[in-house]
Amino acid sequence: MNNNRPKHLALHQIKLPLPGIVSILHRISGLLLFFALPFLLMMLQYSLRSIETYTQLMGTLVHPLLKLILLGLLWAFLHHFCAGLRLLVIDLDYGVRLAQARNSSKVVLAVSMLLTVWIGIILW
């Protein structure tokens, strides 16, 4: 048995490959969306309750910090969606080779960022 093995892993020194980073971001974006769900449902409720609550909500959503938070949630949704599609394709046994997995990870990151910028420019 090799005794030169490390006794503990220094996780901050491990270089994760791009598919691993996309996988972790997929989990983080799902968690972010889960915790933001009550906030998003409350916004939906305020927008549908009456014209007064709708105008109050629209007045609140003008704040730049809230717009930035909503843009982050938009990215989380789009990344989670694109990465989920990637995982479904991998489950169908397409793109399981290393080069294909790296390319699909690059596509997921690029598409989610481009869609976020495009929709953010339209909605801002």
Q: What domains are there in the chain, each with its CATH number? A: 17-123 (1.20.1300.10)
Structure tokens at 49: 């309750």
Is residue 29 predicted with pLDDT exceeding 90? yes
Those residues whose C-beta lies under 8 Å from the C-beta of residue 61, and which sit 6 or more positions away, are: 67, 70
Type of residue found at 14: I
CA dist 44 and 48 (Å) reads 6
Q: Where are the alpha helices (DSSP H) in the chain?
A: 18-49, 51-60, 64-91, 98-123
pLDDT tens-digit profile of 75-106?
999 999 999 999 999 999 888 888 999 999 99
Give the CB-side neighbour count of residue 102, counting CA atoms within 13 A.
4
Q: Please give the pLDDT value at position 10.
A: 73
